[in-house]
Structure 1
Amino acid sequence: MKARFLVAGLALLAVATVSLVAAEIDLEGVKCIMNPKAAAKAEKSVDYKGGQVFFCCDNCPKGFAKKLDAKDETVMAKANQQLVATKQAKQEHCPFTGGPMKTELTVNGATVKFCCNNCKGKAEGLEGEEQLTALFGEKAWEKAGFAVADAKKSESK
C-alpha cells in the first residue's frame, strides 16, 4: 500500500514539474519554425536537443521531422534559434571564433553574443538564411557552446 502511494506521489510530482517547466517558456513573439507567419503554440511542440521546439499546428511537426531526417541546415538553424529565443539554450562562446563573449546582437528574438565588434559586424552584415545558419547552424551551435539548460536525458535529434 505504501509503495502505491509513493508511486502515485512521484507521478504527481513529475506532472507538476513538467507543467512548471512548460509554463516558464515564454512564446510571445515566437513564430512556428515551419510557418514563420504563424505564432508558435505551447501545445504544439516536439522534443529537440533536450528542449522543446514549438509549431502552429499538428502538421508542422511532421514536416519538421522530414526536414531533420534530410539534414536540412536551415530548418535545424531555425530550431536552434527558437531554443535560444525561448531561453531554453544558453551560449558559452562566440559563434565565429569560439572566444569569450563581450558584445551582443538580437536576431529574430534570440540574443547572440560575440567576442568583439568585428564578429558582431560580420553577423550584422549577413541577411536572411545566411545570417540564420551562420549564427544558429550546427557548426555555430557547436563553436558557440550552446546547450539546453537542464537538458532531458533523451537523445537529441
Structure 2
Amino acid sequence: MRKFIASAVAVLVVAVATTVTADVSLEGVKCVVAPRAAKADKSAEYKDGKVFFCCGNCESKFEKDSKPFAVKANHQLVSTKQYEQKACPFSGGPAKDSTALKIEGAKVAFCCNNCKGKVEKAEDTEAKLKLVFNDKAFENGFAKAKAEKE
C-alpha cells in the first residue's frame, strides 16, 4: 500500500510540475543569473510566478539572495508572460501602444514620449533593463497575468 501511495504522489508531483511549466514558453529565455538558456526543470518561486535557471548552481545562488537578480527576474516574468503590462513603468499612468519599445524581447509601452525617451537614451541594454524592470518600475507597470478561461 505504501508503494502505491508513493507512486501516486510521485505521478501527481510530475503532473503538477509539467502543467505549471507547460504554460510558460522558455524559447529564447535566459537564466536570470548566467547568460545561458533557461531550463524548465530549474526554477524558483518569485513574485507569484516562477523564474528559470540554466543549472542548479544558479538556482541556489538566486534562492540564497534574489535581490542582485531582481531586474532580470522581473524581466523574465514579463518575457514568459507570467506578468503583463498594466501601466507606464515610470508614471503608473495609462500606457500607449504608440510609445512601445522592445527591450530584450519584451514589449514595453509608456504613457508619453518623455518616458519612452528616458529608455531610448539609456547607455545600453543593461541600463534599459534596470530602468524598466527595477522593483519600483515593475510594481508601477506590471501585474500578474490573469489566467485564461478554459
The answer to which structure, 1 or 2, has the higher relative contact order (CA under 8 A, 6+ apart) is 1
- Given that residues 44 and 54 in structure 1 are in contact (C-alpha distance below 8 angstroms), is that contact kept between their aligned partners in structure 2? yes
Alignment-mate amino acid for residue 24 of structure 1: D
Please say if 1:122 is aligned against 2:118: yes
Q: CA RMSD in A?
A: 2.2
Shift of the 15–39 alpha-carbon distance from structure 1 to 2, 3 Å rule, reads closer
Which structure: greater strand fraction? 2
Q: Give the match's secondary structure for 1:59.
A: helix
Tell me how far apart the structure 2 counterparts of residues 105 and 138 of structure 1 sit (CA, whole Å): 19
Residue from 102, 109, 116 that aligns with 2:105: 109
Residue pair 1:30, 1:109 contacting (<8 A) in 2 also: no
Calculate percent identity across the aligned residue pairs: 55
Unaligned runs of at least 5 residues, structure 1: 1-7, 152-157
2:78 alignment partner, one of 79, 84, 102:
84
TM-aligned CA deviation for residue 35 of structure 1: 0.7
Match of 1:139 among 136, 140, 144: 136
Distance in 1 (CA, whole Å) between partners of 2:137 and 2:30 is 21
2:94 is matched with 100
* TM-score, structure 1 as length reference: 0.76
| Structure 1: distance between partners of 2:89 and 2:61 | 28
Q: What is the deviation of 1:147?
A: 1.9
How far is the alpha carbon of 1:17 from its aligned partner?
5.6
- 8 Å CA contact retained: 2:104, 2:125: no
4+ runs deviating over 3 angstroms: 14-18
Distance 1:35 1:111 in 2: 22
Q: Output the CA distance in 1 between the equivalents of 2:84 and 2:65.
A: 24
1:39 alignment partner in structure 2: 37
Match of 2:58? 60
Equivalents in 1 of 2:54, 2:131: separation in Å? Answer: 25
- TM-score normalised by length of structure 2: 0.80
Give the conservation status (yes or no) of the 8 Å contact 1:41–1:55. Answer: yes
Q: Point out the more displaced range, 124-133 or 57-66.
A: 124-133
Query: Would you say how many aligned residue pairs link Structure 1 and Structure 2?
Result: 135
Query: Shift of the alpha carbon at 1:18?
Result: 4.8
**Structure 2 CA distance, aligned partners of 1:114 and 1:150?**
21
Gapped runs of 5+ residues in structure 2? Answer: 1-7
Please give the alpha-carbon distance, in whole angstroms, between the structure 2 residues aligned to 1:79 and 1:24. 17
Q: Given the superposition, is the C-alpha separation of residues 142 and 82 from structure 1 closer, same or farther in structure 2, using an over 3 Å criterion? A: same
